[in-house]
Structure 1
Amino acid sequence: MEKNKKIYFISDVHLGSSALKNNKERERWFADWLDFISKDVSELYLMGDIFDFWFEYKKVVPRGFTRILGRLADLSDKGVSIHFFTGNHDLWIFDYLPEEIGLTLHRKEFVTQINGKNFFLAHGDGLDQKDRGYKLLKKIFNNRSF
């Protein structure tokens, strides 16, 4: 990692949530945060549920989020490595974000080394081995033919 560069992690922004107030304000806050970190970010880990609901079907993607998608594309174009972990609210992300933005999509937990230390990274949903019902449901939802 370059000197004076940082790695950032964020999760559970839930952009577009009908249950939360001030969606536009939250989107602007997140866009401002992406602008703020752009000065010193080397890697960005989006740890799931960035969108409250994302359903991608063939060539159709959800409406909105242009401020966020544009900023993520700008970061990627500048060489920032972006990792997107699907959560239980945005697990129907398929090819659009990796192809259009250039991010790396993670559907499962991921182990990586940062500054010589091992990190186990995951959104967290489905990690409970006893929750067989959710694990089955997640397998069905992650099936491309569903």
Structure 2
Amino acid sequence: MKIKRKVEIAVISDVHLGTYGCHAKELLTYLNSIKPNKLILNGDIIDIWQFSKRYFPKAHLKVIKKIMSMASNGVEIIYITGNHDEMLRKFSDTTIGNISIVNKVVLELDGKKAWFFHGDVFDISIQNAKWIAKLGGYGYDLLTLVNRVVNWYLERRGKERYSLSKKVKNGVKGAIKYINDYEKVISELAIENGYDYVVCGHIHQPKKEYFENKYGKTTYLNSGDWVENLTALEYQFKRWKIYNFNKDKLAPFIVHDEIEDMEVKDLIAAITIVQNK
């Protein structure tokens, strides 16, 4: 018997299947723990930029199989194309069964409008010099491979895991400014177009932040990634939550400060028992 959490929408992005940095086993565990009405794959799920026949482990194939299984069992799968899987953009607006491929999508959630897209269209480095971005992608993949070896050693010594890529990013002022500018531009555009939520990925920085200017307000959401942060976004009970695999594991959707606002029937509905087939 498996316990699965009901969520209205689950959003994952930047999985990078086919690269050494991808944590496919952890993602598979997460997908097996939820029962969403919609699963939004917000770009860079399969890393076609760095795809190699020499490296595509069984765990990576199992993730694809799991997503297909979810679709066959009635889950609506919305695949939003990203820059690393941009080849799929030629199939944009194609629907096969419960799976649709789009470049962006707007959904109405409990009377509010949510705008979903990957986010690479706002990345000047990709738009103006794609070869530099691809070269950087290979360097990032090598860094994550080295990081996995380092963490294997640290875990054997009983020490805490360490993220080299995060350390590099956080140590570079230009990178921090880029992230802040990225979030600000996207949020201002969402306000200009009347979107209550703007949901993206691309920069591997999970975040939920409220933005407001003289023209209006919006909530910026980023689903993070499954390379270093192992995060997803979940929408349930008219709320958005960042799910963090390393911290939340298989915890219920609700968090402590929300319990007081919940009725008993809502708490019970957060978890459903699903029999193994």
What is the TM-score with the length of structure 2 in the denominator? 0.36
Look at both structures and tell me which one has the larger radius of gyration over its CA atoms.
2
- The structural deviation recorded for 1:14 is 1.4
CA distance in structure 2 between the aligned counterparts of 1:85 and 1:122, rounded to whole angstroms? 6
Q: Kindly report the root-mean-square deviation, in angstroms, between the aligned alpha carbons of the 2 structures.
A: 3.2
The yes-or-no answer on 1:30 pairing with 2:27 is yes
In the alignment, which of 115, 119, 122 is matched to residue 120 of structure 1? 115
Matches within 5 A, 1:72-83: 72-83=67-78
CA distance in structure 1 between the aligned counterparts of 2:49 and 2:31, rounded to whole angstroms? 20
* Unmatched tracts of structure 2, length 5 or more: 1-5, 131-277
- The structural deviation recorded for 1:13 is 1.4
Matches within 5 A, 1:13-92: 13-18=15-20, 20=21, 23=22, 26-37=23-34, 40-53=35-48, 65-92=60-87
**Greater share of strand:** 2
Contact 2:77 2:100 in 1 (8 A): yes
In the alignment, which of 127, 132, 135 is matched to residue 134 of structure 1? 127
CA distance in structure 2 between the aligned counterparts of 1:114 and 1:79, rounded to whole angstroms? 19
SS at match of 2:9: strand
SS at match of 1:111: strand
Q: Which residue of 2 aligns with 1:58?
A: none
One-letter amino acid matched to 1:106: V
One-letter amino acid matched to 2:18: G
Contact 1:126 1:134 in 2 (8 A): yes
Contact 1:43 1:82 in 2 (8 A): yes
Stretches of 4+ aligned residues off by more than 4 angstroms: none
Percent of aligned pairs with the same residue? Answer: 28
- The structural deviation recorded for 1:81 is 0.4
SS at match of 2:120: coil
The 1:81/1:52 distance shift into structure 2, 3 A limit, reads: same
Q: Which residue of 1 aligns with 2:263?
A: none
* Unmatched tracts of structure 1, length 5 or more: 56-61, 138-146
CA distance in structure 2 between the aligned counterparts of 1:103 and 1:133, rounded to whole angstroms? 27
**Greater share of helix:** 2
- The structural deviation recorded for 1:53 is 2.0
Matches within 5 A, 1:93-104: 93=88, 99=96, 102-104=98-100
